[in-house]
Chains A and B, each alone.
Chain A
Amino acid sequence: MNSLLQRFPALKPVVLLVLTLASIVAALVLVALFLLMLGKDPLAAYGEMYKAAFGDWFGFSETLVVAIPVLLCACAVALPARLGLFNVGAEGQLYLGAICATAADRYFQHLPGTLPLVSVVVCSFLGGALWGFIPGALRVWFRVNETISTLMLNFVAINLSNYFVFGPWRDQSSGNFVLTAAFATVSRFPMIPGTRIHLGLVLGLLAGLTLFLVLRFTVWGYRIRMIGDNPKVGRYAGFNVNWTVLLVMAVAGGIAGWAGGGEVAAIQGRLRPGISPGFGYTGFLVAWLARHNELAIPAYAVLVGGLLLGGDVLQISLGLPQATVNIVQGVVFFFILGSEWWLQRRVLDHIPAQPEPLSSTAPQSPGAAA
């Protein structure tokens, strides 16, 4: 999955960038045709979306607010992808992060100093990490495919979150509204004054940069990349593949957990039903757009964050449902996947490939088996 650039080192990143942007434009054109058919003005729709998302500083700050969970979830997808693992569970990991952040606020808000905030950050990471560790463990010890298990755990996590919100943690003083008590001021993520941009942005950028540096320059990263290329070679080299899978899935889950922490500890200020409109799945798309390159993820997260934010405007000004944004996301994904065919056919034919890793023509990555 991540091997296009590794197998074809001469392939310029700029080619990928052009191809990705072309895919996004093609998707927007296709959706525009769809809107035309419905008798809506697509140029007006896109204009409104652009104005809302990037038109002024306030709009852009709100775009960044949406981009934060997307960025964190995309990192949570990209890291396991280096091992050939599909983490489709960022959504559930986000919810576990939110649940544990809320628990931290409930039980640690009376601690002195910055300890409440620290505990929210640590607990949201640990909650997500648990939700990443489970599919990792199922994969390592029971050979259960992580694609299916991460998807199943998303639904478990959402139910678990609802259990707490509707059940033991429900704030009775808020009447008919279903939500938990508001976070204590000391537990909340700090924000840039005048905006809702919060600590999550720092965590996201830090996570992306750290992952990039670790993967690129450390022995640990070298192991991950090697196992991702061919787990057999990794085993022969004496690397503990199982341990690496567990660690990578847990860390990835923890990063997605921060996304949930940010939503409850900064944006909503409390846990409530439906805190995520599918950030985990959007993160999956963004990781793919960035081709699992940690340095490219923030840029695409902002772009797609703008798209999500623009979706709200569509609803208000043009009467188009929020779901239009999901359609655009799906179509962008189609074009990205389709363009990889073009890459393989047209571009790679002219670039000498590096020899395939040992023995097989189709390296059996740990994620490939059903």
Chain B
Amino acid sequence: MSADAQGLLSSTFWISVLSGAVRSGTPVLLAGLGEVLAERSGILNLGVEGAMVMGAAVGFIATAQTGTVLVGLVAAALAGLAISAIHALLCVPLRANQVGSGIAVTIFGLGVSAFIGRPFNGRQVETLHPIALPVLSKIPVLGTVLFEHNGLVYFTYLLVPVIWFLLYKTHFGLSLRMVGESPEAADAMGLPVDRLRFVAVLLGGALAGVGGAYLSLVLAGNWVDGMSAGNGWIAVALVIFAAWDPLRAVLGSYLFGGVLAFTQRVQAVGIGISPFLLGMAPYVFTLLVLVISMRRAEKMTGVPAALGALYSRE
């Protein structure tokens, strides 16, 4: 047996892949949770890609200028929120085509982020340190996989149940799902359809912004033009796989993160596969996931009936 293959079979290799799955899946999970909110209200937001790239740039700039990561994260959330406001404005009151608007927001976001990020090309900031949680990180295997991460990962651990609770157990969540299911009925019941959709898209954009900042502040430590690299669109695809359920979004994102982590670790072990062929893996994986999710689409319960449809009161 070759040394390479032995490296692939060792348990440390697989533990590091699992830990990497959580680490690399988190930005997509953040954006995906945001997209769940937006799509549950009936608005397809392909602009999450633009919100992520804005979050990556603004988060990096704010951190580099102030030296405080928290400021960077808040700034990234606001940037994601601001750019998503354009999508909300076009799609909600102006009833523009949601695919067109999402692409437009992404083109705009790529432009603005490259514009404002240019003076910061080549600058470095210290990436967010992992913090081993006391007691929990001592659990064998699981401790390393789940509880030796940076603060943002723990934040998403909390965020997932919060969003689940918000969607299924609160009045706001019920209204949101109703608006996505049947805006006519929601309107007839006196729910503010447009306002709910607006709020959902803005919240989703803020989360995508934080997800973008994760790319620059946790995974890279620098800013590169267009560094979102399709992560926002992958998040949209994973929402379909997750059947619009925040809990299943966790599964999808970590699976995706696992593929990323696996390809990176395989390279580290020193197997001679072109990095570019490995670089295709996340996108091909996402396509496969879509194929599988659509095969069982008949059984899907989560798809908001009015997703992407125009609604105007007549």
Contacts and interface: CB of A to CB of B under 8 A. Distances in A.
Interface string B200-224: 0000000000000000000000000
A369 B290 CA distance: 14
A142 B291 contact: yes
A138 B234 CA distance: 16
Interface stretch (B17-25, B60-68, B275-283): B275-283
A144 B276 contact: no
Best-buried of A163, A331, A337 by chain B (most CB within 10 Å): A337
A368 B240 contact: no
Contacts of B284: 152, 156
A88 interface: yes
A323 B111 contact: yes
Interface stretch (A111-119, A220-228, A338-346): A338-346
B233 A148 contact: yes
A98 to B, nearest CB: 15
Nearest to B91: A337
A1, A330, A368, most chain B CB atoms within 10 A: A330
A340 B96 contact: yes
Interface in A244-273: none
Contacts of B279: 159, 162
B276 A167 contact: yes
Given A151-B230, A337-B94, A338-B90, A330 B105 contact: yes
A298 to B, nearest CB: 21
Which of B44, B290, B309 has its CB near the most chain A CB atoms (within 10 A)? Answer: B290
Given A152-B230, A167-B276, A338-B90, A143 B297 contact: yes
Given A329-B111, A341-B94, A370-B44, A149 B277 contact: no
Interface string B173-200: 0000000000000000000000000000
Contact of B290 (A86, A148, A325, A362): A148
Given A144-B291, A152-B237, A337-B100, A159 B108 contact: no
Interface residues of A, number: 51
Interface in B239-297: 240, 274, 276-277, 279-280, 282-284, 286-287, 290-291, 294-295, 297
A370 B303 contact: yes
A370 B236 CA distance: 10
A145 B282 CA distance: 18
Given A333-B103, A370-B307, A152 B94 contact: no
Contacts of B95: 341, 344
Interface stretch (A45-53, A180-188, A280-288, A350-358): A280-288
B277 A370 contact: no
Contact of A330 (B109, B236, B287, B295): B109
A292 B89 CA distance: 24
Q: How large is the interface on B (under 10, 10 to 19, 20 to 34, 35 or more residues)?
A: 35 or more
B71 to A, nearest CB: 23
Contact of B276 (A163, A278, A328, A334): A163
Contacts of A276: none
Contacts of A160: 276, 280
Contacts of B97: 1, 337, 340
Contacts of B101: 334, 337
B167 interface: no
Most chain B CB neighbours (cut-off 10 Å) among A142, A166, A285, A362:
A142
14 contacts: A138-B291, A142-B295, A144-B290, A144-B294, A151-B233, A154-B230, A323-B225, A326-B110, A329-B107, A330-B111, A333-B103, A340-B96, A341-B96, A367-B99
Interface of B: 39, 44, 46, 86, 90, 94-97, 99-101, 103-105, 107-115, 118, 225, 229-230, 233-234, 236-237, 240, 274, 276-277, 279-280, 282-284, 286-287, 290-291, 294-295, 297, 303, 307-310
